[in-house]
Chain A
Amino acid sequence: EPEVTQTPSHQVTQMGQEVILRCVPISNHLYFYWYRQILGQKVEFLVSFYNNEISEKSEIFDDQFSVERPDGSNFTLKIRSTKLEDSAMYFCASSEQGIGYTFGSGTRLTVV
């Protein structure tokens, strides 16, 4: 069954450093998303991406964050100048028609 692949599965970074989280969505999907889940809290929407541009973003997704689809397969989330409170599980998801969503297995980001 097709799946969304995320790398790395766990990343540890120092506060203030930049990180790039990578995702390979399902190949025929057109809608891409990033979510995060702080430990013990609910899954929170960050951003959606369609037709090579951001279609919606939450208030969490400020200037510290950016997304990119650098080629035909990858979808990345960049976090500049990481803060301790950015520590969370980050999930990528993709959708064929923007209705049903398939999640990747997540990247656990730990900022120290």
Chain B
Amino acid sequence: EDKVVQSPLSLVVHEGDTVTLNCSYEVTNFRSLLWYKQEKKAPTFLFMLTSSGIEKKSGRLSSILDKKELFSILNITATQTGDSAVYLCAVGSQGKVIFGPGTSLSVIP
């Protein structure tokens, strides 16, 4: 059965800290790995990764995929309170997307 696992499930950090969120997967017909940020409503897109070893960066966020070890990490440096959200990892397979349970990140001042 296809599955996506995220760790930790919950994390509380202070502003300015750096965090690493983990995602591992077992999915047949892998096509892409996606990271989303979910605050109140719909997930908002962060990154899409399809190739191993190529880091994607957007401001203080970065992500990388290892297709051999079947995992990805999402890094957030110099965290701010506005980074507080649930971060979802999802794997795109043929015809569907499988979501992980999310990591709930709380950044406290």
Chain A residues in the interface with B (C-beta under 8 A): 33, 35, 42-45, 48, 50, 55-56, 58, 89, 91, 93, 98-106
Contact = CB atoms under 8 A, between A and B. Distances in A.
B20 to A, nearest CB: 21
A93 B45 CA distance: 11
B101 A98 contact: no
Nearest to B4: A42
B31 to A, nearest CB: 6
Interface in B25-40: 31-32, 34, 36
Contact of A100 (B44, B48, B98, B101): B48
Contacts of B92: 98-101
B43 interface: yes
B26 to A, nearest CB: 16
A93 B88 CA distance: 15
Interface residues of B, number: 23
11 contacts: A42-B100, A43-B99, A44-B99, A48-B95, A56-B95, A89-B41, A100-B34, A100-B45, A103-B44, A103-B45, A105-B41
B97 A101 contact: yes
B11 to A, nearest CB: 17
B51 to A, nearest CB: 12
Given A99-B32, A99-B48, A100-B34, A45 B42 contact: no
Nearest to B36: A103
Given A48-B95, A89-B41, A43 B34 contact: no
Contact of A33 (B32, B36, B88, B96): B96
Given A100-B32, A106-B42, 4 more contacts: A35-B99, A43-B90, A91-B43, A104-B42
Contact of A99 (B36, B44, B50, B101): B50
Name which of B96, B98, B101 has the most chain A CB atoms within 10 A of its CB: B96
A86 B48 CA distance: 30
